[in-house]
Structures are given as structure tokens and as C-alpha cells.
A and B are shown apart, each in its own frame.
Chain A
Amino acid sequence: MKHLRAVNRKALRVEEHLAAAWGDVFALQQGQGPSQPRPHYPLGCSLVFSPGWEVDSAGGTAGLCQPLERDLYDCYLSCFWPAQVPDHLNNYPDWTSKCATATKDWRNIDLVFP
């Protein structure tokens, strides 16, 4: 939290609870004030300046601070930017169910044929 500093132990617990439920940059992304809890995946989207969309200093993707496969999830779950991945809300809620860890299991994510 930036505008409230937790001082006593209860406040620290409130802060931990909120951090776990919403993440630090949730408000920044929403940009519309208080909201109800909902799933949130704060990393990787271009809006939060993830290097996943870029290349590393050598022009490749090996040196990025997080694996580029991470972006699959961001396009799938949280980013409104149009991307070539299925939508998880209506038609393909299980698309990534076989992919526990993107860096290892990304090959299990298959094409879909609408």
C-alpha cells in the first residue's frame, strides 16, 4: 500500500490479506476506483510494462526477466488487447488446464478450432 502505511499488527494483516487478494497494481490497471474482488493476474501485460513483449539486450528472448511463455496467460486471462489466444470466459475455460508451469508445459497448450 502506498497511501496508507500499516502500523500495528492488525493493519499488517489487513495489508497482507489485500495484497494476496488483489495484488499491488490492480488499482492502477483498473483506473476506476474501488471495485469488487475478481481474478487478477498482474504480471506480463504490456500495460504494466512487462518485458515479455520485448526483446532482451541481445535482441533475443533468453535474457528476459520472465519467460515469454508467461504472456500466453496474460493474453488469455487478463489483457483486453486482442491476441491470438482463445477466450477463457465463454468458450475455452480449460485451454490451459494441462499447463501447470508455462515454461515447462507450454507444449501442452494446443490449438483450438472454433
Chain B
Amino acid sequence: MTTYRLAEFHPFRGGERQFLYLVPSGAIFELSDLSAALLRQLEAGERTREELLDALGAQGHPGAEIDEALEEMYQARAIASGAGFEDPPQPAPRPFPLQTIVLNVTNQCNLSCKYCYEFGEDRVATPEGKPKFMDDATARAAVDMLIEQSFGRRAIHLTFFGGETLLNFPLVRRIIEYARERAHAAGKYVDFSLTTNGTLLKPEIIEYLAENQVGVTISLDGPKEMNDALRVFHDGRGSYDAIEPKVRELLKRHGTRPIAARVTLTSQVVDVLKIYRHLKHDLGFHEVGFAPVTTSPVRLYAIGGRGLDNILEQFTELAQEYLAFALRGEHHGFSNVSDTLGELHSGISKAHPCGAALGLVGVGPSGDIAPCHRFVDADAHKLGHVSTGIDRARQNEFLDRGHIGRKPECHTCFARPICSGGCYHEAFVRYGDTGHANLHYCDWIRGWTDVCLGIYGEIAARNPAFLNHFDERKAA
């Protein structure tokens, strides 16, 4: 006799409707009254078909409908029977085509932010004896590698990063030109972005970035008193006053790509709402994204357990504001929500937490290849050199280590399609192993995923057309 039980999913509500987030597929289904009633029956434990027919029949559901619902829910894997579903996550195809290279054009910086992962106390980089600035030959070799290793992919992406990127701006200009020529010859389309602390922006640089449609992200931690707590010059002076007029100029002039602010949250900088209001409304950033600082837990600026709860509460409040905007069909700049909604909408189910060492690699000033910009210049994580290409054996070792199949703690978590264990760099700093699950923020990720699912459901119920933005976004 066949018995049924609940399979793996996370139920949530939005706009008075009931939804299921199926795990691990990442599919989101809305429940009918009957399918919701069926799940309620199974919440108490296993039931046979006959028991379900009796119980649901007593509620007035015709038997044929109940069978139909059973079949649908079984096929969609919301309910299971017998041995259940055995679908181990697949390894990514290899070699995986490159999409993005992050060029760390210099490892030097004119700021000394206390939490910096490149120079701070938890750094993984070993830059001793290596070039401080990338030269043209190295950058060109990286571009050539991107063109060649992107295989059939038509759209490719080059991100300029540092250190402070603008310390090597002349190289950035030359490489943008070179990459355009090479991409054109190869029948590909390349676009560019750049991350900077904003202190070295000048009118001619802003003009260039706008004209060439270079996406710009500014690292900035909010209003003066918060930004200057940790984002300081070498002499300890806060950087806000140097940045503010330049950022205003940039936002005024550069309209060809959205300009984003990227905020690092620390124990001193936790007022998400105030930071958002300042960056979005006072300064005029198009989008603002937040991330807790990557650090070992002993640092003074590390965010403790209660601090993460507080951040989640504020994120939730700001996310509700995003929802109100979305229901009116308006843009809201809280990019942590839009990023997560985009992933939920496509139904992504990650075997690896991010594209590092897969579709993305970082390249340091020396030409060493790293899994991403955060591991640049770190000998222990080197994945080859631009002159000889990606070291496939080391790349495979890195990817195997970080695969979700190797993280047993994740295997019962509903948020794993989105998280997949979290940032490799964060894991290395915390646990000394890039393949370790980031157990210190599991509750946070689950809480945040649940908040975003609720928002997704509400939008799907009340303004589904808004979700089309995410189709376009993905296609771009």
C-alpha cells in the first residue's frame, strides 16, 4: 500500500496566498485549497492514499480531484512515497566558460580601512615581492584569456578592482579600449564595471566612465560619522569629506549605468535604515547593497550574534518598503532584496555558492589567477597565471572542495539552493577552509530567505507584472 509523506520544501505566505518553495529544485508553486489541505493532512505524519481520500473526501473534495492533486504534488516532488527522491547535485560542466574577470589593477590603496580583507588583520594575500601595479602586458593577457576561455559565450564582462582602482586609471582606459577591439574581432560583446572608494574621482574620470558606460560601485559606509569610523586615510583621518562632493558629481553626470553604493556593516556601523536613507536620498545612489564585514570573530569590529539579528530586523523593515514600492511598480534601491528576488524568480539551485573559479576569476597585478578578487595575491589559493592559463587541476580541487555535496550541514537546510554554504573567502577566514559551510550565519540566511520569499509571494499575488523586471535583468 502506498503511503505519502511531506517531501522537502519551505512553505510561505504572501498576499493571503500559500506557496511552496521546493528544495532543492528552487521551484515556487502556489497551492490550491485542496493541495494545501492535503499537506495539512501529511503534517501529522505518513498517510495512505485511502486515508487521504477519506479525510479529504469528508471535507467535500471529490475523489478524482484528490487523486489528481496527489499525482501533481508527487510529480512536482512536494510529497514523497517509498524510498523518496534521490537526486544528488550534479557537478558543474568543466571546463566552465568564463564570463567575468576581475582585474585587481593594483594592490595599493590610499585608504586604510581597518577591516580591509586585503590589508587588515585577517588578510589572506601574500603580496610581498610581487608587483604593486598591473602592467599592460599582464592586463592584455588577462583579456585574451577571457576572450578565449569564454568559449561560445557572447557577452563577457571585465571588472576593475583594487586596492584602489583609480590609482591605476590610465591602465583601465587602455585596457577598456583593448578589450573592445578584441571582443569585436571575436564577435563578442564586452561590458565594464569598476569599484572604487571614490576619493580619486575627477571630472575627466567621471566623464570617461559615463561616456564609456562603465558601471561604478562606490565603497562607502553611510553618513560621515559611520563612514569615518573605519574608512580612514593612512593618518587616521576620516574619508567622508573627501568622497562626498566627488560622489555627488559622479551621480549628477553619470547616467548611463546605475551607480551603486556598497556598504560594509560592522559592530560600529549597523544602522541600516539611516545608511540607506542617506545614500539613496541625500546622495542619490541608484542602488545600495549591504554586507556584513568578513572577519574572524575576535575583532572589535566583528558583528556578534545579536548584531546579526538586529541587522535582519532592519533589513526586513527596509524590505517591506521595497515591497510597497514594488506593488506600485516603482523602483526601490535596496539591492539585497532585488538580488535575492532575482535568484528566487529564476529558481536558481546552486551547486556552488558563487561563480568564483567557475565563470569568474580574479587576476592580480602579478598576473596570478585567483578564484575571485578576494583571493588575489594569495599564493595558497593561486589557480594559475595569465601567461599559462587556468591550472585545471587546482581549479577542480577548489571547486570539488566547495561543492554543496561536500557540506553535510547544508543538506537539510531549505535555503541551500540560494546559499550553498556561502562565501569561500568568509569560510576561509572563519574556518581555514574555503569548502566549509559558513555556519555562523545560517540563521541569518534562512531568516533573510524567508523574508524575501514572503515578499516574492506578495508581489506574485498582487503585482505579478513587476516580476518581469527580473526576466529582463537575467537576460542582460
Contact = CB atoms under 8 A, between A and B. Distances in A.
Interface of A: 1-11, 13-15, 18, 22, 26-28, 30-35
B346 A9 contact: yes
B144 interface: no
22 contacts: A1-B72, A1-B76, A2-B68, A3-B34, A3-B68, A4-B30, A4-B72, A4-B73, A4-B78, A5-B29, A5-B30, A6-B28, A7-B30, A9-B346, A11-B27, A11-B76, A11-B347, A14-B25, A14-B76, A28-B64, A34-B2, A35-B71
B327 interface: no
Contacts of B349: 10
Nearest to B19: A7
A27 B28 contact: no
Contacts of B71: 26-27, 30, 33-35
Given A3-B35, A7-B30, 17 more contacts: A3-B73, A4-B30, A5-B29, A7-B19, A7-B457, A8-B28, A8-B460, A10-B347, A10-B348, A13-B27, A14-B76, A27-B72, A31-B67, A32-B49, A32-B67, A33-B74, A34-B75
Interface string B283-324: 000000000000000000000000000000000000000000
Contacts of B34: 3
Contacts of A26: 71
A10 B72 contact: no
Contact of A10 (B27, B70, B456): B27
Contacts of B29: 4-7, 11
B167 interface: no
Nearest to A2: B68
Contacts of B76: 1, 4, 11, 14-15, 18
B282 interface: no
Contacts of A27: 67-68, 70-72
Nearest to B459: A7
Contacts of A10: 25-28, 346-349
B344 interface: yes
Q: Which residue of B72, B74, B75, B471 has the most chain A CB atoms within 10 A of its CB atom?
A: B75
A33 B2 contact: yes
B388 interface: no
B32 interface: yes
Contacts of B348: 10
Nearest to A15: B76
A18 B34 CA distance: 20
B155 interface: no
B467 to A, nearest CB: 8
A18 B75 contact: yes
Contacts of A3: 31-32, 34-35, 65, 68-69, 72-73
Contacts of B340: none
Nearest to B78: A4
B46 to A, nearest CB: 14
Nearest to B52: A33
B81 interface: yes
A30 B75 CA distance: 14
B458 to A, nearest CB: 12
Contact of A31 (B4, B64, B73, B75): B64
B72 A8 contact: no
A33 B467 CA distance: 34
Contact of B471 (A9, A11, A15): A9
A42 to B, nearest CB: 14
Given A28-B64, A30-B71, A33-B71, A4 B31 contact: yes
Leading 10 A-B pairs by shortest Cβ distance: A10-B347, A27-B71, A34-B74, A11-B27, A3-B69, A5-B30, A4-B29, A3-B35, A8-B28, A10-B27
Contacts of A32: 49, 67
A7 B78 CA distance: 15
Interface in B39-67: 49, 64-65, 67
Contact of A34 (B25, B32, B81): B81
Contacts of A15: 76
